[in-house]
């Protein structure tokens, strides 16, 4: 049985994860942490991780960047592994996370979807086959109109995956409206669209001479991210200190 503390339990993702864990016979949420305690939870909710003294195996964090520092500090103090799903962290925060991973296991992925992480494996292979054949590569991501960051953390992670496979030859280009020049071969274009209630859509284009290869992932609900985070929690509770990602959970290396 994996005993989970849900950090950010009353946010949308916290509620989705809570509902899924109730159906998982091998997991239970023993406590929640959220500054807004306005939901009918089946577990006790605390305002901060420091207030929470419940025995647990792992923390799942789906909160916001402003809450991450305190959560990480408390996790180190309590020696609790962390599945870190919050995006938009600063370089300073990421440095703190990396430092904390020397003392506790931390799993951080830009996207917790099993499908997205399988997609990264596909992109690694496609890029190695096509980058040297003159194919231009572009990424278009689409999300709902409430999303704050652009491009998405997932789009950047996909770009990094492609760039790693191509020996870091690409420069990321986010906006071409003032670039009065032909496309450079070292460009990797990343475009963002915001509208409606789109959960998440990522398209990768390999555009060559007289042919285009399109690879696309669509998330129809946030449950795909919740399922991945629960799988990560089961995996992480038995790991040694260090940094992990979803490829470790899925054994994709």
pLDDT in tens, 140-179: 999 999 998 899 989 999 999 999 999 999 999 998 888 8
Per the annotation, does 196 bind a ligand?
no
Q: DSSP letter string over 116-127? A: HHHHHHHHHHHH
Q: Which listed CATH number (3.40.1360.10, 3.40.1350.10, 1.10.1740.10, 3.30.360.10) goes with 114-219?
A: 3.30.360.10
Which pLDDT score is estimated for 160?
96
* Over residues 18-42, mean pLDDT: 91
In the structure encoding, which two tokens stand for residue 177, read together? 């409206």
The answer, yes or no, to whether residue 110 has pLDDT greater than 90, is no
Q: Which listed CATH number (3.40.50.720, 1.10.3710.10, 1.20.1300.10, 1.10.600.10) goes with 2-108+222-250?
A: 3.40.50.720
Per the annotation, does 10 bind a ligand?
yes
Per the annotation, does 13 bind a ligand?
yes
* Over residues 183-197, mean pLDDT: 96
Query: Boundaries of CATH 3.30.360.10 in the chain?
Result: 114-219
Closest CA to 162 of 135, 132, 133, 125: 125
In the structure encoding, which two tokens stand for residue 47, read together? 């305002």
Per the annotation, does 110 bind a ligand?
yes
- Give residue 144's region: left, alpha or beta (phi > 0; psi -120 to 50): beta
Per the annotation, does 154 bind a ligand?
yes
H-helix or E-strand spanning residue 92:
helix 91-100
The answer, yes or no, to whether residue 252 has pLDDT greater than 70, is no
Residues 6+ away with beta carbon under 8 Å from 248: 107, 235
Q: Within 13 A of 48's CA, how many CA atoms are on the CB side?
A: 11
Query: Boundaries of CATH 3.40.50.720 in the chain?
Result: 2-108+222-250
The answer, yes or no, to whether residue 253 has pLDDT greater than 70, is no
* Over residues 72-100, mean pLDDT: 95
Per the annotation, does 144 bind a ligand?
yes
Per-chain mean pLDDT for the chain:
94
Q: Which residues are catalytic?
A: 143, 147
């Amino acid at each position: 049985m994996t005993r989970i503390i849900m950090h950010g339990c009353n946010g949308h993702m916290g509620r989705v994860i809570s509902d899924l864990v109730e159906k998982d016979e091998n997991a239970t949420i023993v406590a929640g942490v959220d500054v807004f305690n306005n939901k009918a939870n089946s577990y006790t909710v605390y305002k901060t991780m420091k207030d929470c003294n419940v025995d647990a195996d792992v923390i799942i964090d789906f909160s916001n960047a402003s809450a991450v520092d305190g959560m990480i500090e408390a996790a180190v103090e309590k020696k609790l592994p962390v599945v870190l799903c919050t995006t938009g962290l600063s370089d300073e925060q990421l440095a703190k996370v990396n430092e904390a991973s020397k003392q506790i296991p931390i799993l951080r992925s830009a996207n917790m979807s099993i499908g997205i992480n399988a997609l990264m494996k596909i992109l690694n292979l496609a890029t190695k086959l096509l980058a040297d054949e003159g194919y231009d590569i572009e990424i278009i991501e689409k999300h709902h109109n409430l999303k704050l960051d652009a491009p998405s953390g997932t789009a950047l992670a996909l770009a990094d995956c492609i760039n790693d496979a191509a020996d870091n030859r690409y420069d990321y280009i986010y906006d071409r409206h003032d670039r009065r020049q032909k496309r450079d071969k070292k460009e990797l274009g990343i475009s963002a669209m915001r509208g409606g209630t789109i959960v998440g859509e990522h398209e990768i284009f390999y555009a060559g001479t007289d042919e285009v290869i399109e690879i696309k992932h669509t998330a129809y609900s946030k449950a795909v991210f919740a399922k991945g985070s629960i799988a990560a929690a089961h995996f992480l509770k038995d790991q040694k200190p260090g940094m992990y990602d979803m490829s470790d959970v899925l054994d994709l290396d």
